[in-house]
Amino acid sequence: MKRLSCMIIITGLFFVCGISVPDSTVATCITGFSEYRHYFDMDEGMSVYNIHIVLATLATAGFVATAIDANINDDDGHAGLGIGSTVLTAVPIVILHF
């Protein structure tokens, strides 16, 4: 019984995170665009800011796609999208700050 209740808690937490992560990344993307859009300049090519903005936007799209795929298919096929989106979230932060 203890193991079952632990699994229920973990499953519930996974579900809540699966909903809140796409929501928070979309909110972060929107606020980032509204506050820092002047840093995005295609004439600068592969600048640190351009790479950060593009990869973070792709990460946001990936998290939204992961949530949609998980709701449509309800299987384990969405794990790769989630992992890829997580990497795309970390890389822009590293690029911008290091």
Angstrom distance (rounded) from CA 63 to CA 36: 21
- Give the tens place of pLDDT for each residue, 75-90: 667 778 888 888 888 8
Helix (H) / strand (E) element for 17: namely helix 2-36
Q: What residues have CB less than 8 Å from 29, skipping those under 6 apart?
A: 56, 57, 60
53: exposed, middle or buried (C-beta count within 10 Å: 0-12, 13-18, 19+)?
A: buried
Angstrom distance (rounded) from CA 11 to CA 5: 10
Selected residue with higher pLDDT from 63 and 77: 63
- Give the tens place of pLDDT for each residue, 9-44: 767 777 677 777 888 888 888 998 898 889 998 898
